[in-house]
Chains A and B, each alone.
Chain A
């Protein structure tokens, strides 16, 4: 049997009958041995120095990752955007692969794209854009962007903005929705005014408990009466001083596809609360009930549910802070290192929604040993943190570089995302990067 057919056979076997493949490839003690080790090594393109640590049933990252067999990722070709990976054309959704997120401050071309509806056309005079603040307020405000810039103090902050579904693709069974890997995250420097200042100018009534956000994008069905999405946050989060109405990013205009000329940034919470093309903030006397609120959308189970089971909406709560996550950004998955490489310098970012990251660790031996990374401080609250670490690679062969972070509440990341839910929120499995040191 030739190498090629052996490799293809392994892939097919795992795809078609993973249980049998495990039985054939791994022995009962869970260690790769003999011809099985050779087959696995051939499949990943090199010897596996830490094969003794590979758990039974474990699929190497090089095998487990990637677009479905026989397909290539679809790459976005859009003026002003880097080579993002398209998850969907209609609505346009594209993520930024981990290795394009190496900058400490995410440049505009690398800010991911997530639409729920049809994006509006650019406006010719951004300063005439009007925002209405109404509902449980003493004075209904109708402010143009020009007036807003004059009336309120500007703030500039580096802020995480992350889609609530980031990491969804790792759920098993598959959760519904865009199959994000880790690329629905950005950490750009946003300039705007505090939502708090605008709400205080309107004067909140004691009955104000929640916000409802509206933008000018339209529902995909073409129903003009239906918002593409309309979510909101509790007043306490709206009044938080890092929650801003942004009109600029990284010192210039916001890209049209990312919400120009005006959008909310509600850092650390699901991106769907950071309404793009925002033109109305409705202050509510109850939890907002707009499009994307209720059911199992942007919600997670209170009591853990059986993966794949039918969801009971009564067992769900709104996803607020995003979970802890870390990524390796300087070594793309599938990197062939120089022959003779025995140490690799790693770099990446870690963030944790409303919390800070207290620890980052990396491993090159399938998690048997962990090395503590040097962890930087956030530029400001809600900015991500940059980490660096060196890992030794004892020999030539195939390695996986794993990273995990722990947040200030002591919560870390698992190998698999926990708390399965039908629409796949809160998935924060460890990031794994496969590298090869040629013999």
Chain B
């Protein structure tokens, strides 16, 4: 493993949510399909997930299509989600993989924000 890879992992791994200074009161978004990125099968995917849990849990994830398939399997096997088949499953996975792909590095610089 190259050092560069090691440090890239280090850097990417350091994604920490934190409160920098004062934080504005959160204004809750309505829980409706538009909180998901646009795309074919968005509404179906939204209602499939939010039948049980909040959309924020979905939006916090970022997976490949293969790993989204694993996640859906856990939801079916353990959490009473209806089993999807054929085109329904394909379209759901296509949507999730496109809308919530593996997350890149996302940055929020406390000092930079404060000075702008």
Measured CA separation A416–B56 after assembly (Å):
25
Tally A residues with Cβ within 8 Å of B.
Answer: 79
Q: Is the interface of A mostly helix, strand, loop or mixed?
A: loop
Residues of the B chain whose Cβ atoms lie less than 8 Å from the Cβ of A169: 15-17
Residues of B in contact (CB 8 Å), total 59
A416 touches B110 (CB 8 A): no
State the CA gap A434–B70 with chains docked (Å).
36
**Residue in B8, B71, B109 with the greatest tally of chain A CB atoms within 10 Å:** B109
- A295 in contact with B107 (CB, 8 Å): no
Measured CA separation A172–B63 after assembly (Å): 11
Contact B111 A436 (CB under 8 A): yes
In contact, A59 and B105 (Cβ under 8 angstroms): yes
User: When the two chains form their complex, are residues A68 and B56 in contact, meaning their CB atoms are under 8 A apart?
Assistant: no
25 residue pairs of the A-B complex, CB under 8 angstroms, read: A43-B109, A45-B112, A57-B4, A64-B15, A66-B15, A66-B18, A66-B107, A68-B103, A68-B106, A77-B25, A83-B23, A85-B18, A86-B26, A87-B56, A90-B50, A90-B54, A99-B19, A176-B70, A179-B15, A181-B16, A181-B17, A295-B74, A308-B64, A332-B18, A336-B114
Across chains A and B, which 7 residue pairs bring their CB atoms closest together, nearest first?
Answer: A66-B108, A334-B110, A45-B111, A59-B11, A90-B54, A334-B20, A221-B80
Chain B, 78-116, CB within 8 A of any chain A CB: 78-81, 102-112, 114-116
Given the known inter-chain contacts A66-B109, A83-B23, please indicate yes or no for A73 contacting B14, CB distance below 8 A: no
Contacting pair B17 A179 (CB below 8 A)? yes
User: Does B40 have its Cβ within 8 Å of any Cβ on chain A?
Assistant: no
Asked if A332 and B20 sit within 8 Å, CB to CB, the answer is yes
Give the chain A neighbours of B103 by CB distance below 8 A.
68, 174
B15 touches A170 (CB 8 A): yes
| B71: contacting residue among A176, A332, A436, CB under 8 A | A176
Interface string of A220-238 (1 = CB under 8 A from B): 1101001000000000000
